[in-house]
C-alpha cells in the first residue's frame, strides 16, 4: 500500500451513488430537484490520483463544474483536456497560472498538490482573485496556514479546505445527534487512523514536501474527528512517538504517534496515527446517554456506523460530489455545513498538530 489515497481507496466498496432523500438542501447539495442556479467553475491544480478522483466525482455535481487544469506535466494536461472536455484557454502550468486572473471562466482553484506547496500556491491563487479550495492539511504548519488565511482575506476570496467528511451523510447524522443531545454529555473519543505506507521515495516521506509523516497525512482525520464528535476545542495535548524504521522514516517523518487531547468539559481523546500498522480506520465516542462507533470512519466508500439506537443507514453518496456541491452553495448562497470547511477550521487543526509534534518531541503536556 503506497499512500493514504491507496489506503482510503482500498477501504472503499464500489457503490452507485444514491440520491439524498432525507436531508435538506441546506446540508447536502445533491438532491433530486433540478438546479438552475449559478455554477461554481473550478480548475484543479495537481492532476494525480486524488485530483482524478475529484474530477470524476464532479461529473455528478449540479452546482460545481470542472473547467480548467493546472499541472507541471504537459501529458497530463493533454489527457485531461480530452477526458473532461477542457478548453485550451483554461490550461496552465505551475509557472504561468497567475494568468487565471484574466480568465473570467474560472471561479475557484482546487489545490491538490503536496502539502509543502499549498501555502505559496494558495497565496498566488488568491492574488489572482480566485476562490481557493485546498486539500487537507491546509498547510504544513499553523504559520503557513495563517499566511493563507490573511492572503485570502486581503484578496476578498474564500479559502475552503477539503474536509469531505463534513458532508458525508452518516458523519453528518452523528454530528446532528451530538448537537441535539442524543448522546448526552460527550466524555471520550478514540480515533485510530493508519496503514502501511509503501514506496519509500514518494513525496509523503519527503519532509520538505509533506511537512511530516503519518500525523499530518492521516492523523489529521482523528484530530478533526475528535473536534466535531465531541463538539469542543482541545485545551491541551500530550503525545508519544515510536519509530521502528529510521531508514524509511527519516528525521522529521513520523512513523507512529499516539496522542491525547483534553477538552474544557473534561472530555478526553485518545488517538493513534501510523504508517506502520494495518486495519486502522475507527472512530468511537461515548457520552452520558449514548455512544457511536464508525468503522470504516474515513474511507472513500460506504462509511459504516452504529449508535446506541442501532445501525446508521444513511445512503452512500460520493463524498467529493457532496463536498464540491456544498462548497458551491457556501460560496454563492452562504449556506454553511454543520461543521465549517473554511480556512479558520483548517488553521485550528494545524495549531493542534503543531502542538502534538511539540509534545512528542518534548515529552510534556502542551497547552493550547
Catalytic positions are 136, 221
Closest-CA residue to 162 (of 132, 190, 120): 132
CB 275 within 8 A of CB 269: no
Instruction: Kindly give the interhelix angle for 319-333 and 49-58, rounded to the nearest 10 degrees.
Output: 70
List Cα–Cα distances, 191 to 106, 227, 295, in angstroms.
38, 11, 10
Positive or negative, the Cα torsion across 98, 335, 60, 217?
positive
C-alpha cell at 89: 484557454
* Euclidean distance between CA atoms 229 and 243, whole angstroms: 29
Place of cell 480548467: 68
* Euclidean distance between CA atoms 43 and 31, whole angstroms: 24
Amino acid at each position: 500500500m503506497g499512500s493514504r489515497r491507496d489506503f482510503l481507496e482500498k477501504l472503499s466498496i464500489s457503490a452507485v451513488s444514491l440520491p439524498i432523500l432525507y436531508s435538506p438542501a441546506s446540508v447536502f447539495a445533491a438532491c433530486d430537484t433540478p438546479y438552475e442556479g449559478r455554477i461554481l467553475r473550478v480548475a484543479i491544480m495537481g492532476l494525480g490520483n486524488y485530483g482524478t478522483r475529484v474530477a470524476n466525482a464532479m461529473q455528478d455535481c449540479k452546482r460545481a463544474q470542472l473547467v480548467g487544469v493546472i499541472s507541471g506535466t504537459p501529458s497530463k494536461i493533454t489527457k485531461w483536456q480530452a477526458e473532461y472536455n477542457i478548453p485550451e484557454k483554461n490550461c496552465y502550468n505551475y509557472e504561468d497560472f497567475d494568468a487565471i486572473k484574466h480568465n473570467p471562466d474560472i471561479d475557484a482553484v482546487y489545490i491538490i498538490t503536496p502539502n509543502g506547496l499549498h501555502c505559496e500556491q494558495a497565496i498566488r491563487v488568491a492574488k489572482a482573485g480566485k476562490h481557493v479550495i485546498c486539500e487537507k492539511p491546509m498547510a504544513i504548519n499553523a504559520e503557513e496556514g495563517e499566511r493563507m488565511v490573511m492572503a485570502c482575506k486581503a484578496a476578498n476570496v474564500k479559502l475552503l479546505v477539503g474536509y469531505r467528511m463534513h458532508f458525508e451523510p452518516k458523519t453528518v447524522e452523528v454530528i446532528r445527534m451530538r448537537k441535539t443531545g442524543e448522546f448526552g454529555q460527550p466524555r471520550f473519543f478514540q480515533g485510530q487512523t493508519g496503514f502501511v505506507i509503501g514506496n519509500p521515495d514518494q513525496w509523503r516521506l519527503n519532509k520538505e514536501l509533506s511537512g511530516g509523516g503519518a500525523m499530518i497525512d492521516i492523523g489529521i482525520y482523528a484530530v478533526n474527528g475528535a473536534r466535531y464528535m465531541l463538539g469542543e476545542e482541545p485545551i491541551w495535548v500530550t503525545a508519544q512517538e515510536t519509530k521502528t524504521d529510521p531508514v524509511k522514516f527519516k528525521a522529521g517523518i513520523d512513523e507512529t504517534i499516539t496522542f491525547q487531547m483534553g477538552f474544557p468539559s473534561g472530555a478526553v481523546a485518545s488517538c493513534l496515527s501510523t504508517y506502520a500498522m494495518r486495519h486502522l480506520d475507527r472512530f468511537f465516542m461515548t457520552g452520558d446517554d449514548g455512544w457511536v462507533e464508525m468503522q470504516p470512519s474515513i474511507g472513500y466508500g460506504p462509511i459504516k456506523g452504529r449508535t446506541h439506537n442501532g445501525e446508521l443507514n444513511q445512503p452512500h453518496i460520493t463524498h467529493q460530489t457532496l463536498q464540491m456541491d456544498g462548497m458551491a452553495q457556501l460560496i454563492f448562497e452562504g449556506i454553511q455545513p454543520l461543521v465549517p470547511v473554511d480556512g479558520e477550521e483548517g488553521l485550528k487543526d494545524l495549531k493542534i498538530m503543531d502542538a502534538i509534534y511539540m509534545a512528542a518531541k518534548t515529552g510534556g503536556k502542551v497547552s493550547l
